[in-house]
Structure 1
């Protein structure tokens, strides 16, 4: 049971890697098709200007490095203190499903209302997980 909590983590890492690879491929391809010298993207300012058409994908990659960090930390804490159970496992999968939906929406049709619902629901699941963990730690 304890090790099963790592499966949602691995799926989140896979999701992040897919977005990263898609972003990297898109950037390289964009430089090639637009005949832009790579040195023009040597710093953040130049890259943000040149890659503006790929902004949504870059924004989403950054999203995958923000809130999910709290998920990774919580899973590490759960493993350290031995609190993994079926409730945490179910909540972890719900969080990952919400983040996958958020990724799908953000990287395709990008309707903000739909994306926000996926973000909100997955974040609420994560906050429930943290609240439960905090109560367990405080109650001993």
Structure 2
């Protein structure tokens, strides 16, 4: 498969995986210094919510990292389904890249300004992309 000349639904999958790893680095680059500053021993972080005392700008990056393992699971499953059923085309690839772009924007909004209405708008747009893509695949299945 030539990734540059053919529609490729797996490249956006790799891109979102790489973005999730970037957010992981961002999370620990903010969390560890904040824990040191607050004098929180690592063992005290063993229970969910125990780091809620950290500043908002630290917590919101960690929250976003967790969000990258919630709805994107649908994206990953849909991309694999599309690939395995040979449903890959310019439209599905465009939708996959649109989803990744919207998730990156969502991460940047949540990790920086964290304006909930803006974050929700981006989240809703990414959800609509998944819905459209899933409906395209469902229609294709019904027409086979």
Q: Report matched runs for 1:49-128 at 5 Å.
A: 49-51=52-54, 53=56, 54-128=58-132
Q: Flag structure 1 segments of 5+ consecutive residues without an equivalent.
A: none
Moved over 4 A (4+): none
Give the Cα separation in 1 of the matches to 2:37 and 2:54.
12
* 2, 7, 12: which one aligns with 2:11: 7
What RMSD, in angstroms, separates the aligned Cα atoms of the two structures? 1.6
Give the Cα separation in 2 of the matches to 1:32 and 1:52.
12
Deviation at residue 34 of structure 1 after TM alignment: 2.1
Q: Is the 8 A contact 1:5 1:89 kept in 2?
A: yes
| TM-score normalised by length of structure 1 | 0.89
Q: Deviations over 1:6-42 (max 9, x none)?
A: 1111111111111111112222212222222111112
* 9, 23, 30: which one aligns with 1:19: 23
| TM-score normalised by length of structure 2 | 0.87
Give the Cα separation in 2 of the matches to 1:118 and 1:106.
10
Matched, 1:131 2:129: no
Question: Which of 64-73 and 21-30 deviates more?
Answer: 21-30
Does the residue aligned with 2:40 lie in a helix, a strand or coil?
A: coil
| Pairs aligned (count) | 138
Match of 1:37 in 2: 41
Q: Flag structure 2 segments of 5+ consecutive residues without an equivalent.
A: 1-5
Does the residue aligned with 1:44 lie in a helix, a strand or coil?
A: coil
Q: Deviations over 1:31-61 (max 9, x none)?
A: 2222221111122243x44446422112111
